Amino acid sequence: MKAILEELNGVVGIKGSMVIAPDGMLIASEFAGIEDETAAALASRIILTTKQSLDKLAFGDISQLVLTSTHGKIVLVSAGNSFLMVLADMNTSLEHTLIEILSAARKIKNMGKMSPKLGAQ
């Protein structure tokens, strides 16, 4: 999984990536200069509140979510029983980068299918 995150971080504009369980448990991380626990807690809170809102609206599960702030973008993508969180520069065009992010999420999801331990997290 570390290799998937390292490859993803090589894409222009991506600052770092991590895989977390919906409850915020850190599975893998490749962030430089960013506190893993803080990022995982933020992602967990976003996932929880978004899931609750989607349930109330009967919109189903989270597929992907993009948050844009004044200094960057956060992309959360479902990867089976986990989520891929990617931090990107503010000026990064997600049009092309999103293809790479979705590909990484698919690889992580497939890893979960092969590894019951990862799939259970």
CATH number at residue 45: 3.30.450.30
Please state, in angstroms and as integers, the Cα–Cα distance from residue 82 to each residue in 25, 68, 91, following that order: 9, 22, 27
Domain count, the chain: 1
Residues of the chain above pLDDT 90, percent: 60
pLDDT at 37 over 90: no
3-class SS of residue 9? helix
pLDDT at 112 over 80: no
Residue 72 backbone dihedrals phi, psi, to 5 degrees:
170, -175
Query: Average of pLDDT values for 7-35?
Result: 89
Query: Average of pLDDT values for 62-79?
Result: 92
CB count, 10 Å around CB of 66?
A: 14
Query: Average of pLDDT values for 39-60?
Result: 91
- Domain range for 25 is 2-120
pLDDT score at 121? 39
